[in-house]
Structure formats: structure tokens, C-alpha cells
Structure 1
């Protein structure tokens, strides 16, 4: 690592990934985002169904997070969402641009590189898979017998279920019944990284899906990078409502029992029983870092500078081991 920037890879989707990318942008210029491609709602879902493309929404958010305030007018345009009641209503301009690039360029990695150049992004945005994927979940609490397990499919359905999500699986949306393939560049980025971040974000629909892609899971297990899990600041309505901080780690261990973690970062005010979190982290091989990482004006939002500093300390501690 001497003489070059820290190689950082963040895996996730949506607002959680935006938080880690904004934090990482403050500590290194070598940042790669690996983004979930399971979204089937809103503008992304419409484009995915109508054109058969990767859902672009989370990819667009990751590009804008890495571009930051220096993205200029293109950043404003990418984030603009059409109003009205016509065919374009609800679509973000950036989603349409990415859809056009995906159709004309073909290769999603090359298409995202073109979008990154347009926005002046220094880092990289990669899909976790070159094909759209579907999330399938085992859920209890949806039948008269609360122990009955129902299977539900789709990112929106899983994220909004009133039941209790027990386990998820990931399936290719284009190859019926098969597991999704990993983006080769994402696998290479994880293996070459100095630090890899999982979380924060929607646990079952943004964080865990990366571990359900076989080659990406294997890369996360094999990498020599410092592996850091960043926990959410507040309980999330829907899929993880009522989960304690340590339960998030228990679920992670159930889905990826071979994964070892070096550090778990949590906000000191978001952990009611630190000893329980410490024990759950220990089962993953990790130390916990209880830092003040929430924004001063919003308890549900990470402070980028504070989170970046916590990640830097976690990497330094791991290297001293």
C-alpha cells in the first residue's frame, strides 16, 4: 500500500451504499462500488421489465455519490426526475441515460465507465452481476400459523413484507432456476482491495445479495483485504424491523458461514447492549468499533467524515494484528 492510495471496495445499494461511497471518497481516490442489480420497483423496475436491462437506479446513485458536489450540471441532470403523468413520469434522467448506454454499448462495465467519464467520476461503479437478478425469500408470519414459511420473490416484495424474513436466495432473472454469475471485474476488485465494506443498507435486499453470488462470495472469503461491516443507525421498517444490531450479524453469519470479518463499525448511540454485539462480532472473527458516526442533524444518516475516519482506524488496527 506504500506509495499508492488505499484501494477501497464498497458493496451494497441505494442510500446505504451512497453513505459508504461518500465516506470513502474523503479518504482515498481509489474507490470501487459494487452495486446490487435486483431492484424491480419504480423507474428501475419499469426499465428492467420493458427493456430487459440491468435496473439502473442504484447504479446511478453510486455514480452520483462518487462524483460528489463536483459533478457539475450533468450531476444535476442525472438526478432530475420527471414529473407529470405521461410516459416519462417518475423516471430519473440518469436512469434513462444509463438505459441508453446499456443498450448501445452492450457491456455494462463499459457502459458504466462511459457514464463515469461523463460525470467526472474518479472511481469505478460495477454491477455485482452482468445480468438482472431476482431475490427470493423465506418469510414467516404471513399465514394464520405464524411458523408457516411462505416464499416471496422480488426486491420490493421482500423489502416491504409485513412478515419476518428468515433467509434469502438469489436467482438469475434470465436463466430460470440458475444462480447469477458475478461481474468478473467486481471479483477482481474485491481480490485486489485493501479494504472491503459491507453495509449499511437494507440488509436482505442490498447487503446480503452480494454474498449470494457464488464467485463474489468466494472472492469476499478469499480476499486479503480488511473486511469491514458497517451497521445501520436505526431500525429499518419492513424487512428488518425489530432487529437488534447483533441480529444483523447473526443473519450475516447464517447466510455466509465461511466469511470472516475484521471489524464491525456501529454508532455508539445505536447499540443498546454492546456486549451482545461484541459476542456476535467475535463469532465472525471481528472486533467492534463503537464510534460517533451519525450525522449531528440526522440520527438516521451517517456523517461521511466520521465514518471515513472510523474506517481508517479499522484498517490501521487490522494491519497491526
Structure 2
């Protein structure tokens, strides 16, 4: 295919997640797109947030919580003056004590577009055009969801139900089961099509139980992930998240992923070499899922956040054609 068709400029990549983890992935993919190494980027975003500005707008207007969608759009903004200015404006939060206090301007704009156009997908496309986004942002479902978790504070304790993304993220104890309400939400058809048409699908990093795993609980999304011919990659977190994954090893993240999608084969698992204490054990866990472990430097010092330039370099290896470019960063399974 010609460069105008896009396929000679790199693969089509779909990234699933939410919040700051998805923001980091999309920012790195945007750089690879600008370098001509990725042809298309699609973000598929969780829609279960019930806190802050998103929670207020969801309650007042019955809309999808816009916060994670807003962050994904901002991550895809270009590095030119137009893109960076709009990214900052989109992320701006109102101060003061009035009704707008705490609301992000981008959240309000997205909700306004939804009301005006009557379509979540069209509204996000128009927002992306305004921002000059280097990719597409789609919700994983067409209606707002609640995350419901069974949580126990100790091994001998009886599990109790915790409802809501914010509440689950802060609940003390071990999450033993996760579900969605409604249990069978209507998926975004465009998101399913993007997953099936992708060359590479990435899951994570991010809040494991409230941003990453919810995608696997939507039946049609999970099926699309299982049936796609795309390579599937999992990006592990740098550190356990207080509350959700306290005490988790990298292997534990993969264990609960398998528990929620036992039929999902993973081709690559990307991990920070300084965050893994037992590489052979993690390699065995990755091989059990059908893939290979890719080790890379993903952060500077003890910073718990992914370094943009290092993540770009690591993802450049993953977006390369299969069996190429992994080099010394590959750990044998």
C-alpha cells in the first residue's frame, strides 16, 4: 500500500485503558506517529469514573464520564503551538468557589458536544479535530458503568461489596472478584471494529482493577481481543498501586488478568527492568499466557511514572514487525 494509505508508515495501534496510564501510552504512540512509525492510533477508554468533575457531570446529565476521554484526547495533541495550547486549555480546571469549581474545561466541552450532536463518537471526533489530535478516542461502552468489587480485608474475613470506581480504588483489602453494572453493557461498535482491524493492541499500564481489567468484563470487547489477528501487548505498571494492588508482584498482575480473560493469548509483556525482582518467574508467567517478556528501562531513578522518551523507545520495539527489533531488551521465556 502507498504511504498515503498509511500502511507503509507503520502499524495500526489500539490502546485500551484509562487515566494517567493510558495518557502515558498515547503520548508515546503520538511521538511514534509523528516519526512515521505508527500509521493510526485509536484509544479505547473505560467509562466507569464516578468521582470529581466526571462524577458530577455523569450524575447531573446522565452522560458518559468524560474525564478519561478528555485525558486521552489531550495526550494525542500535537507538539506544535496549536496542539499544546489546546491540550493545556482542555485540561484547565476552574478554581474558585462557584458551580464550575473543579470542572475541567475539556469535560464541559465534550458534554456540550454530546448534547449538541447526540452521538458520543461524533462528539469525540469533533473534539479531536478541534485539538488536532493525532488519533481517535472511543469509549469502551455507550453508557456509563459502575465497577463492583468483592473485597475482603483479610484472608479469614468475609468479602463485602464495594461499588464505584473511586470507592473500589480506595477500598482496603484484597479484591477477590470484579464485575460491571450493568453486566452486559452495549459496546462501542467503532471500538470493536478498531480492535479487529488493528496490527497491535496494547492493554495497560494503569489502575489495574479500575482502568485496565474493566475492558475485559465487556463481553464483546473481550471477544474482539481474543479474535483479533493483531499482536496483543500488556504494559505492566512500574510499582503496585496503594489499595488496588498493594503487595502485587508483576506476576500477580498477569494472574488476575488471566482470571478475568482466561482465553486471552498475550504476545508481548513489557516490564521495567528495575521493577522486576524475579525475571525467570515473570518470564514463566508470560510464557504461560503464550507470549514473551520484553524488559526495558522505562523510568528514571525511583520515579514511579513512565519516562516519555524511554517509553517511546520501548514501544518502538513493540510496533516493529514481529520477531524484529527486540534485541537485548528481550528476556527468554
Cα distance change, pair 49–233 in 1 and its aligned pair in 2 (3 A):
same
The alignment's TM-score, normalised by the length of structure 2, stands at: 0.90
1:238 alignment partner, one of 240, 243, 248:
243
Q: 2:164 aligns with which of 154, 168, 191?
A: 154
In 2, Cα distance between the equivalents of 1:301 and 1:158?
Answer: 22
Residue 299 of structure 1 aligns to a residue whose secondary structure is coil
Runs of at least 5 residues in structure 1 that lack an aligned partner in the other structure: 173-177
Deviations, residues 244-293 of structure 1 (Å, cap 9, x unaligned): 11100000001100000001000000001111211111111111011101
Contact 1:39/1:155 (CA < 8 Å) preserved in 2?
yes
Q: TM-score when scaled to structure 1?
A: 0.93
Taking the aligned partners of 1:319 and 1:278, their CA distance within structure 2 comes to: 17
Counterpart in 1 of 2:327? none
Please name the residue that 2:112 is paired with. Answer: 100
CA–CA separation in structure 1 for the residues paired with 2:43 and 2:318: 19
Counterpart position of 1:266: 271
Q: Distance in 2 between matches of 1:82 and 1:117?
A: 24
Instruction: Report the Cα distance in structure 2 between the residues aligned to 1:315 and 1:30, rounded to whole angstroms.
Output: 11
Task: Please list the CA deviations of residues 137-177 of structure 1 after superposition, one character each: whole Å capped at 9, or x if unmatched.
Answer: 111117xx7431111111011111012111211123xxxxx
Aligned mates of 1:256, 1:129 — CA distance in 2: 18
How many residue pairs get aligned? The number is 313
Separation in 2 of the partners of 1:309 and 1:226?
Answer: 18
Whether 1:300 and 2:304 are equivalent positions in the alignment is yes
1:247 aligns with 2:252: yes
1:200 deviation in Å?
0.3
Contact 2:11–2:319 (CA under 8 A) maintained in structure 1: no
After TM superposition, list the pairs within 5 Å mapping 1:71-150 onto structure 2: 71-141=83-153, 146-150=156-160
> Is 1:29–1:122's contact at 8 Å kept on the other side of the alignment?
no
Deviates more, 1:201-210 or 1:233-242: 233-242
* Of 304, 308, 311, the match for 2:315: 311
Q: Secondary structure at the match of 2:157?
A: coil
1:63–1:125: 8 Å Cα contact kept in structure 2?
yes
User: Does residue 164 of structure 1 match 2:174?
Assistant: yes
Deviation for aligned residue 1:303: 2.1
Q: Is residue 13–residue 206 contact of structure 1 (8 Å, CA) maintained in 2?
A: yes
Question: SS in structure 1 opposite 2:181?
Answer: strand
Partner Cα separation in structure 2 for residue 298 and residue 60 of structure 1? 28
Instruction: Quote the RMSD (CA, aligned, Å).
Output: 1.8
How far apart, CA to CA, are the structure 2 residues paired with 1:42 and 1:146?
34
Which 5+ residue runs of structure 2 have no aligned equivalent? 2-6, 33-37, 325-333
d(CA) in 2 for partners of 1:14 and 1:235?
16
Partner Cα distance (2:302, 2:228) in 1: 34
Measure the CA separation in 2 of the matches of 1:215 and 1:67: 29
